[in-house]
Structure 1
């Protein structure tokens, strides 16, 4: 996949999350904010840093969390399978 297509896909996913309808109760929001970042975000950030060495990619992959982890598992290179 070409880089512009990946960036467009990431942009669409992030903008969908940002502009989605706010239908979650405030109790759920406060629980999510109180608990902090999740395991998927941490794994995605580590994998992204090991592959790209870019802070921007770490932030984007942390926001996408498990989606990036699945993408990494599908597209990993031979030297990353150790």
Structure 2
């Protein structure tokens, strides 16, 4: 029974992590580029764009 609870917490955490990564990527992209099209593309890439921006653009 505890195994099921742990699995549920992991799934919910992953879902929120993906959502936050997408929102963060969109916000960074729009601020940097002022383009809705690039914000959508970077939102699809999510955390990959956030990591790229942190390493190479800041």
- TM-score when normalising by structure 2: 0.66
- Following TM superposition, the consecutive aligned residue runs of length 4 or more in structure 1 with deviations greater than 6 angstroms are none
Question: How many Å separate the matches in 1 of 2:57 and 2:45?
Answer: 17
Q: Provide the residue aligned with 1:67 in structure 2.
A: 48
Shift of 1:69: 0.2
* 1:43-62 aligned within 5 A: 43-62=24-43
Aligned residues: 44
Q: What is the RMSD of the two structures over their aligned residues, measured on CA atoms?
A: 2.1
Structure 2 residues not aligned, in runs of 5+: 1-14
* 1:1-82 aligned within 5 A: 38-77=19-58
- TM-score when normalising by structure 1: 0.48
Larger RCO (CA within 8 A; separation ≥ 6): 2
SS in 2 for 1:38: helix
